[in-house]
Chain A
């Protein structure tokens, strides 16, 4: 069965370190998204991609970057981790056109100490 998986599931890192969260999907979806989930804020969009070599900034992109070298993967990098980036991160993918279901990964709980 097709799926979308994130790794690691839990991560503790120190302030200032670079961290990369992996997202891999086997749906063959063109659209991929990264969200962070914080209490009281719901799901906020960090970065998104509509296809290989395409990346775009979302509403909370400062301090994060992504790259899309193939259809299956959209890794999220925190350039220099900050305590404000402690959160649960969800990756999602969807087919074109966009008005169809988005499938979410299991989430990564990141703690920056």
Chain B
């Protein structure tokens, strides 16, 4: 089955700096790559996703890049704000299942 690895597990940045979270996957058939944000005590919610026919996607301060050849994708958050503090999960979809990374706890220091 698919193996999704996510790094780093924890990340602290100063407010206004950028944050980058990276994921690798093993199944070349994976074709959908969502990112979820989970605030403390709340449910995971989709913040951005990308499909395999696209290399990069942006939504305001958030962007995702995908390198299908190398089997990795990354989440980029620019101009971080305290409300960006949360756990972020990457995921892939293959074989009609979602596979999640183990999460990155992001702390934005005011």
Contact yes or no, A43 B43, CB < 8 A: no
B43 to nearest A CB, angstroms?
4
| Residue B96 at the chain A interface, CB threshold 8 Å | yes
CA distance A100 to B93 in the complex (A): 9
Return the contact of B93 from the options A45, A50, A99, A105 (Cβ within 8 A).
A99
* Chain B 50-81 interface mask (CB, 8 Å, partner A; 1/0): 01000000000000000000000000000000
* Chain A 80-111 interface mask (CB, 8 Å, partner B; 1/0): 00000000001000000011111011110000
Considering only CB atoms, which chain B residue lies closest to A100 in the complex? Answer: B32
| Residue B89 at the chain A interface, CB threshold 8 Å | yes
Q: What's the interface size class on B, roughly?
A: 20 to 34
B63-110 interface (Cβ within 8 A of A): 89, 93, 96-103
CA distance A49 to B105 in the complex (A): 30
Q: What's the interface size class on A, roughly?
A: 20 to 34
Considering only CB atoms, which chain A residue lies closest to B51 in the complex? Answer: A99
| Residue A34 at the chain B interface, CB threshold 8 Å | no
CA distance A88 to B45 in the complex (A): 16
5 closest residue pairs by CB, A with B: A99-B32, A42-B102, A104-B43, A43-B100, A101-B46
A-B contact pairs, 30 of them (CB 8 A): A41-B102, A42-B6, A42-B89, A42-B101, A42-B103, A43-B44, A44-B100, A45-B97, A45-B98, A45-B99, A48-B97, A98-B32, A98-B93, A98-B96, A98-B97, A99-B31, A99-B51, A99-B93, A100-B32, A101-B34, A101-B46, A101-B49, A102-B34, A102-B46, A102-B98, A104-B36, A104-B43, A105-B43, A106-B42, A106-B43
